[in-house]
Amino acid sequence: MPELRYGQLSITGNYRKNNEDNLYIDSESRFFIVADGMGGQSAGEKASELAVDLVPKKLGGLIDFIGDSSENVRKAMDNAVGHANAEIMALGRVDPELTNMGTTIVLIVWVGETFYAGNVGDSRAYLLRKGKFTQLTKDHSLTQALVEAGTISADEARTHRYKNVLYRYLGSKEGGEGVYTEEVKPEKGDRFLLCTDGVTDGLDDPDLQQVLEADEDPQQTADAVILAAQKGGSKDNITCIVLDVL
């Protein structure tokens, strides 16, 4: 079994009054989660807080982390995220201050010899392996839908007026439709990144790869990613987890 090292950082950024992002690192390194809340005031903060509280509790009870089947792990991820989605929607209905709150979620779940990277929304997971930088997740945004339809290019999507408009997130009916999941067999030397769109708002993929390749220490790298995104003009809260396979 591989050993893991990680670093993490979350900041409010230059343009927001409060930090609506949250992250969670399991004490046994079984899963890593980043969530980006939305809804204004304290609503987004509450939604992301619920996601990083409820999803770990469900995952811990549903998965045999020593070597569960791929089918069961995927079902467990769907179940855990779907449960959080239902709770966020329910609380939003009964508390006027939390109406329309929502959050993205991106997570890596480590079971046996496999990493399961999954997301709902536009927070992302990346893999840096032997100089190749790959996005493992899929944005549930209107711009990504337009790219897939061939209506706009990936370059146009980066500055498109709908780039931050999501059609699927926790706190929406569509948020319970399941998690987009990719399976990866981790290799020694792999570096994974989980991040909110505050990171990708300030850094395009080539620049992000350059920052990830610049330092061996995962905590120093996480700090550098956040600082580079901030300097790059990110207008959101900025959060990431850097995860190294030793």
Q: List average pLDDT for each run of 10 residues in the chain, which is 246 residues long.
A: 94 94 97 93 91 98 97 98 97 92 98 98 98 97 91 86 90 95 98 98 96 98 98 96 98
What pLDDT is stored for residue 222 in this prediction? 98
Domain that holds residue 26: 4-245
Give the phi and the psi of residue 24 in degrees, each rounded to 5: -145, 130
d(CA 29, CA 56): 11
C-beta of residue 146 within 8 angstroms of C-beta of residue 158: no
Cβ atoms within 10 A of the Cβ of 154, count? 10
C-beta of residue 169 within 8 angstroms of C-beta of residue 177: no
For the chain, where are the alpha helices, taking DSSP H only?
43-62, 70-94, 142-148, 154-159, 197-202, 205-213, 218-231
What pLDDT is stored for residue 41 in this prediction? 64
Structurally, the chain folds into a number of domains equal to 1
What pLDDT is stored for residue 157 in this prediction? 84
CATH number of the domain encompassing residue 33? 3.60.40.10
Residue 138 DSSP class: -
* pTM for this predicted structure: 0.96
